[in-house]
Structure 1
């Protein structure tokens, strides 16, 4: 289930090929091909791993409020197809210090 309040990333099994309309996304594991229909959506997908949640990635890509629902729908479809995935949780810094 796609939850935009969580951190996501482009799947490591996915390659993005730039195109004039946006990009082609190919998943090597499932052999699924998907069209990212706008350069702005490509920017969001590429930057997902750099942000704490999907909403922040949309903000960073300057997605206007009028286009949010469409972008969230596209990202939900990409998540359902395994092209983007929730990021694994990172260990807390204090746990790392205790282990040292």
Structure 2
């Protein structure tokens, strides 16, 4: 049996990314600390941003500039909930943004952040 191997993916810093093993799916908890995944690049666009994961080669579209700001600010706040507040997301909009963040966590675009 022949196995086809492709060239390894390269992250934005030129480092090869292993694509064979992925961590188990992590449940999104808005009370926890999160960050944009290390293997993910954001490219600003007029509609929001393109998000590309160099490890699993997934491409996503963020169709809200506020959501882009939230994803970029996750590492600067103690929790995803605190990030939403800091980015001016209203209480009424929070469930929709939490769902979007949960989808990004499921697709490994954001990841839990270790706290010191």
Note whether the superposition's TM-score is higher than 0.5.
Answer: yes
User: Structure 2: which 5+ runs fail to align?
Assistant: 1-26
Give the structure, 1 or 2, with the largest relative contact order (CA under 8 Å, sep 6 or more).
Answer: 1
Q: Which has the higher helix share?
A: 1
Q: Tell me which of 25, 42, 45 is aligned to 1:19.
A: 45
Q: CA deviation at 1:65?
A: 1.5
Query: What is the TM-score of this pair, normalised by structure 2?
Result: 0.76
User: Structure 1: which 5+ runs fail to align?
Assistant: 91-100
The structure 1 segments of at least 4 consecutive aligned residues displaced by more than 3 Å after TM superposition are: none
Aligned to 2:82: 56
User: How much is the aligned-residue C-alpha RMSD, in angstroms?
Assistant: 0.6
Q: CA deviation at 1:70?
A: 0.8
Query: What is the TM-score of this pair, normalised by structure 1?
Result: 0.88
Q: Tell me which of 54, 59, 66 is aligned to 1:28.
A: 54
Q: Tell me which of 68, 84, 94 is aligned to 2:94.
A: 68
Aligned to 2:30: 4
